[in-house]
């Protein structure tokens, strides 16, 4: 039987050359580019420029306010009539209110001793202090170690209670809520909350509690975070820069102008009556701290931030842990905004300008726009505009205003000013994950309520500083080391950079190649190993 050629089975009308296919694709592209692609991309440019201006005005506003606060505002101690608690020999410790200290933890093998020891070392009358270790650990060995540590301090006369739950329902919010239900808590007037890696100084309560004495409408005193491992690697230095701006500017401005800001979930003291009036802890989002703060503010309670009251803590030092943390911190506020925006707008106890501040500035610009504009403008729209030269992006939107915003962001960490350019590139990479998490929160999609406890290295960090030995990190699996999303965007930006180098006129390829390198570094999981 004669062999039949494969070509014989294909009609001649389908036998086209590669050149013909390329020509047809090019023709189709030209047909849809002018009437469809160019207008859509122009619209995207206008939307991104509007978001850039919103972010610029917000940053400029906070920059002006923080200068005025530093120059002319009274210090918190003067605004709130702070006076130390006077000890009375006759009444003993009766002048001190009873304070509950809550330490929520989950499988915190490396840091449980640090946090419990710091809480037990607080300079406060022992009969006016209750320390509550809320252990949701699932590892029986760790649970036993934590319980033994509590028993060791109890034997020294410290009023410490080890508390566990049958399930982890509600995660941290559930643990804190369950802790406040205990019978002995009804005698407590205030509650101080410290995550497992936080270590307050002995005088923490003596400096924080007096603010409540002459201010019955004060609900929260928030301290500033400091970081014991900021110099560990480039990843921790980048985090320090972002968080220092948050505490130095955002929290300070909110406290000084509206007596409102988002509770940071730890290193703060709450009036228990305010928690109860606001409806207690709720686990409807992954930002139970911000949820409580907004609800308490809507009921007229005030907050004060103390930049001089600082508590040491630990930053995530692996990219995997940092990504999970940023997902929670970006998804939660967006989800809370979805749930509370109408409640805030309809509230009659809060002044109009405070509602504008909470809805527009606190939530919309900082928690939504800030992530989206960074990703869409600099990682999507700007590179695409290079491939489609009919679309013009003004220089003021791509260079001038972003440079001013970046300069304003740098005021929090002057010592890292030399890392500012790389910080921009790294923030652009992280904006990819933050934008994705923001959409998940707004749409209340699959991972909206995902809660992954941030990995901590506590004792390993301490041993490193004492013995000058390297930290033993867990071995990376291939899936943990390789991040395909970052690598994919790295390839995309590299392609756009090459096109701009050959045919472009704005020299954006310099930025695109540097941004490509940053995407590839994070894509291959090396950001946590680079020493600054």
| Residue 459 is a catalytic residue | no
Q: Structure tokens of 405?
A: 């915003």
Q: What distance in Å separates the CA atoms of residue 356 and residue 366, rounded to the nearest whole number? A: 13
Q: Structure tokens of 444?
A: 């209340």
- Stated as kind and residue range, the H or E segment containing 435 is helix 420-443
Which of 244, 283, 289, 500 is catalytic? The answer is 289
Q: Work out the angle between the directed axes of helices 509-523 and 420-443 (0-180°, nearest 10).
A: 70
C-alpha torsion 258→264→267→269, nearest 10: 50
The gap from C-alpha 433 to its chain's centroid, in whole angstroms, comes to 12
Say if residues 286 and 331 touch (Cβ distance below 8 Å): yes
- The two beta strands, 129-135 and 218-227, are unpaired
Which of 136, 283, 291, 500 is catalytic? The answer is 136
Quick one: which of 57, 58, 59, 80 has its CA closest to 256? 80
Region label for 38, one of left (φ > 0), alpha (ψ between -120 and 50) or beta (otherwise): alpha
Q: What distance in Å separates the CA atoms of residue 274 and residue 302, rounded to the nearest whole number? A: 10
- Spatial CB neighbours of 355, under 8 Å, sequence gap ≥ 6: 344, 345, 347
| Helices (H), ranges, 72-188 | 76-79, 112-120, 140-154, 171-180
DSSP 8-state class, residue 191? E
| Residue 289 is a catalytic residue | yes
Q: What distance in Å separates the CA atoms of residue 150 and residue 146, rounded to the nearest whole number? A: 6
Quick one: which of 359, 365, 333 has its CA closest to 61? 365
Catalytic residues: 136, 289
């Amino acid at each position: 039987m004669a062999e039949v050629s494969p070509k014989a089975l294909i009609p001649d009308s389908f036998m086209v050359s590669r050149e013909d296919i390329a020509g047809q694709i090019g023709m189709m592209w030209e047909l849809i580019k002018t009437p469809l692609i160019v207008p859509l991309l122009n619209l995207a440019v206008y939307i991104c420029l509007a978001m850039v201006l919103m972010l610029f005005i917000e940053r400029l506003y906070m920059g002006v306010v923080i200068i005025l606060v530093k120059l002319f505002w009274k210090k918190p101690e003067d605004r709130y009539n702070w006076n130390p608690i006077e000890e009375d020999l006759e009444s003993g410790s009766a002048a001190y209110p009873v304070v509950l200290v809550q330490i929520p933890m989950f499988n915190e093998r490396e840091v449980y001793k640090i946090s419990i020891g710091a809480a037990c070392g607080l300079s406060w009358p022992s009969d006016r202090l209750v320390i509550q270790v809320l252990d949701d650990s699932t590892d029986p060995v760790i649970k036993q170690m934590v319980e033994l540590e509590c028993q060791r301090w109890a034997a020294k006369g410290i009023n410490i209670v080890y508390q566990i739950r049958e399930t982890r329902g509600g995660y941290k919010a559930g643990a804190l809520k369950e802790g406040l239900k205990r019978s002995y808590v009804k005698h407590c007037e205030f509650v101080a909350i410290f995550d497992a890696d936080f270590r307050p100084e002995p005088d923490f309560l003596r400096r924080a509690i007096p603010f409540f004495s002459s201010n019955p409408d004060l609900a929260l005193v928030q301290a500033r975070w400091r970081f014991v491992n900021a110099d560990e690697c480039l990843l921790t230095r980048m985090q320090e820069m972002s968080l220092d701006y948050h505490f130095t500017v955002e929290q300070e401005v909110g406290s000084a102008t509206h007596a409102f800001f988002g509770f940071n979930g730890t290193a703060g003291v709450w009036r228990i009556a305010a928690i109860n009036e606001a409806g207690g802890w709720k686990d409807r989002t992954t930002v139970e701290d911000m949820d409580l703060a907004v609800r308490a503010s809507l009921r007229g309670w005030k907050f004060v931030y103390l930049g001089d009251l600082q508590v040491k803590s630990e930053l995530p030092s692996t990219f995997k842990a940092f990504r999970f943390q940023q997902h929670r911190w970006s998804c939660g506020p967006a989800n809370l905004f979805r749930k509370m925006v109408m409640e805030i707008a309809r509230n009659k106890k809060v002044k109009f300008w405070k509602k504008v501040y909470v809805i527009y500035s606190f939530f919309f610009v900082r928690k939504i726009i800030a992530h989206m504009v960074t990703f869409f403008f600099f990682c999507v729209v700007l590179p695409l505009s290079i491939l489609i030269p009919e679309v013009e992006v003004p220089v003021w939107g791509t260079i001038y205003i972003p440079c001013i915003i970046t300069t304003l962001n740098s005021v929090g960490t002057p010592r890292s000013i030399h890392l500012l350019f790389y910080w921009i590139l790294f923030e652009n990479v992280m904006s990819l994950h933050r934008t994705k998490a923001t959409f998940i929160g707004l749409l209340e999609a699959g991972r909206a309520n995902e809660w992954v406890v941030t990995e901590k290295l506590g004792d390993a960090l301490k041993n490193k500083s004492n013995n000058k030995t390297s930290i033993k990190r867990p071995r990376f699996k291939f899936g943990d080391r390789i991040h395909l999303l970052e690598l994919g965007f790295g390839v995309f930006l590299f392609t756009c950079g090459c096109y701009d180098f050959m045919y472009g006129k704005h020299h954006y390829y310099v930025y695109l190649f540097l941004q490509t390198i940053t995407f590839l570094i994070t894509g291959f999981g090396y950001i946590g190993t680079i020493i600054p």
